[in-house]
């Protein structure tokens, strides 16, 4: 009997506890079953590319809340002028709404199914109209203010994540070289390949091509440097780097000197509005050797500024690094133009390079020079083919080897004009131990 009473007591106690346990789900109001919010809120810069195309931006609406698997309904709209003015005053900034003809919100009402977690409201911006409008209205902060609001009572909107201010920014897309510089070395090889690529500073939203050009006339012939797979740098949508253009360099035919620069240019694009680099990409090609070295004699050398007390110009070709040429220093007022060394060749050439060794001392080392050429050596006939402003050594007995330079027209005269040394600027003296010329 006692066991019966005990079991009855346990049953009643369990029933009482079960009836008294609260349903915590009922403590959350039904309008929080689904909560809608924007992924992007506050000021959001929208980049519009100045290519003649309209721009596009997706405003993302998330569905959350206690019952994420329930249905929901949401709407978006653009704040009117009064609402935007009230918001501006509240946040302490001044915003102006973008004119209505400069954008389009195609879909404003969104129905979420049970399994939908987000929807996207696509905004189309009229890039050309916005560019021209902003260009003449630079004194205002133009935005497109998009508000998320509830469509039915059962859904709620997160009050802190319901407004986004889209600020358009017009950008001219520019392709850049993937590398600042590069070198191909043929010293020990007969053939080499350089993979040339271009970059965009963003992931490309388009498929397009850029045309690459090598110089028609220059140091290298078409059998020495050529494209292996065409001259198009191809950009694919979704990538910021082009597919490589293979440039082949072959050690065939005549080379002059031991190295040269191959300037590579971007000359066109299938996408309108794409900007190109203003300067060419310089590919250094090293092939080594003393190709087409000229045997110099004293009567081929001259200068406008011979120092009378030391350093005759013939010392440049005596094969002795202990002797030197020195331009005028003892009478500095006598020469009011840059000092130079001039070489008269026995026959006309179109390509030239030079090398020299500095004197075994610490001053008068060329730091900036211009290279001039002429067919007859007469005044007014000289043409500048190089302006060297860096890379020239200043240590005692140091050596310098130039790139090979080319001229469109033949020449017989070469002039090495010094604009600056480690001792001063032109007109100033310079010195040099040995000089070599390579030409063809």
DSSP string, 372-390: EEESS--TT--EEEEEE-S
Concatenate the DSSP letters of all residues of 191-214 into one string.
EEEEEE-EE-SS--SS-EEEEEE-
Q: How confident is the model at residue 145 (pLDDT cuts 50, 70, 90)?
A: very high
pLDDT in the model for residue 422 = 97
| Token output for 175 | 């392709």
Q: How far apart are alpha carbons 200 and 242 in whole angstroms?
A: 8
Burial class (CB in 10 A: 0-12, 13-18, 19+), 217: exposed
Q: What percent of the chain has pLDDT over 70?
A: 93
Convert the pLDDT of each residue in 362-419 to its tens digit.
999 999 999 999 999 999 999 999 999 999 999 999 999 999 999 999 999 999 999 9
Convert the pLDDT of each residue in 23-46 to its tens digit.
434 444 555 678 999 999 999 999
Average pLDDT across the chain, whole number: 92
Burial class (CB in 10 A: 0-12, 13-18, 19+), 353: buried
pLDDT in the model for residue 15 = 45
The yes-or-no verdict on residue 225 having pLDDT over 70 is yes
Across residues 84-110, what is the average pLDDT?
Answer: 97
pTM above 0.75, yes or no: yes
The yes-or-no verdict on residue 6 having pLDDT over 50 is no
Q: What percent of the chain has pLDDT over 90?
A: 87
Convert the pLDDT of each residue in 9-21 to its tens digit.
444 444 444 444 4
Domains in the chain, start-ordered, CATH in brackets? Answer: 30-171 (2.60.40.1740), 176-290 (2.60.40.1740), 294-439 (2.60.120.260)
Burial class (CB in 10 A: 0-12, 13-18, 19+), 151: middle
Torsion sign across C-alpha atoms 218, 221, 225, 228: positive
């Amino acid at each position: 009997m006692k066991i019966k009473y005990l079991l009855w007591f346990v049953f009643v106690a369990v029933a009482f506890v079960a009836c008294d346990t609260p349903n915590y789900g009922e403590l959350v109001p039904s309008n929080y079953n689904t909560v809608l919010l924007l992924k992007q809120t506050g000021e959001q810069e929208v980049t519009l590319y100045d290519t003649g195309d309209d721009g596009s931006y997706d405003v993302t609406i998330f569905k959350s809340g206690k019952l994420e698997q329930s249905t929901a309904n949401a709407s978006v709209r653009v704040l009117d002028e009064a609402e935007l003015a009230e918001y501006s005053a509240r946040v302490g900034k001044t915003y102006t709404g973008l004119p209505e003809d400069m954008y389009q919100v195609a879909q404003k009402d969104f129905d979420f199914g049970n399994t939908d977690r987000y929807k996207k409201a696509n905004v189309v911006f009229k890039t050309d109209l916005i560019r021209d409008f902003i260009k003449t209205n630079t004194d205002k902060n133009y935005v497109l203010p998009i508000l998320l609001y509830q469509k039915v009572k059962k859904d709620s909107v997160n009050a802190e994540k319901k407004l986004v201010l889209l600020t358009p920014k017009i950008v001219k897309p520019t392709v850049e070289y993937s590398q600042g510089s590069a070198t191909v070395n043929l010293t020990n090889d007969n053939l080499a390949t350089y993979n040339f690529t271009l970059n965009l500073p963003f992931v490309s939203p388009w498929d397009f091509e850029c045309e690459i050009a090598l110089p028609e006339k220059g140091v290298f012939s078409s059998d020495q440097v050529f494209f292996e797979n065409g001259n198009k740098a191809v950009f694919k949508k979704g990538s910021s780097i082009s597919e490589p253009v293979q440039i082949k360099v072959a050690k065939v035919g005549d080379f002059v000197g031991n190295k040269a620069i191959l300037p590579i240019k971007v000359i066109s694009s299938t996408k309108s509005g794409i900007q190109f680099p203003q300067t060419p990409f310089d590919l250094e090609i090293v092939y080594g050797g003393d190709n087409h070295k000229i045997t110099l004699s004293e009567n081929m050398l001259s200068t406008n500024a011979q120092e009378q007390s030391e350093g005759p110009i013939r010392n440049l070709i005596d094969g002795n690094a202990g002797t030197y040429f020195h331009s005028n220093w003892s009478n500095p007022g006598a020469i009011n133009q840059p000092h130079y060394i001039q070489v008269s060749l026995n026959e006309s050439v179109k390509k030239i390079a030079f090398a020299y060794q500095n004197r075994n001392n610490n001053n008068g080392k060329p730091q900036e020079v211009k290279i001039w050429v002429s067919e007859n050596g007469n005044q007014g006939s000289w043409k500048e083919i190089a302006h060297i402003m860096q890379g020239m050594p200043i240590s005692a007995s140091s050596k310098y080897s130039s790139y090979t330079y080319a001229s469109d027209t033949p020449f017989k005269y070469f002039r090495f004009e010094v604009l600056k040394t480690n001792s001063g600027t032109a007109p100033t003296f310079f010195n040099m131990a040995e000089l070599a010329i390579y030409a063809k």
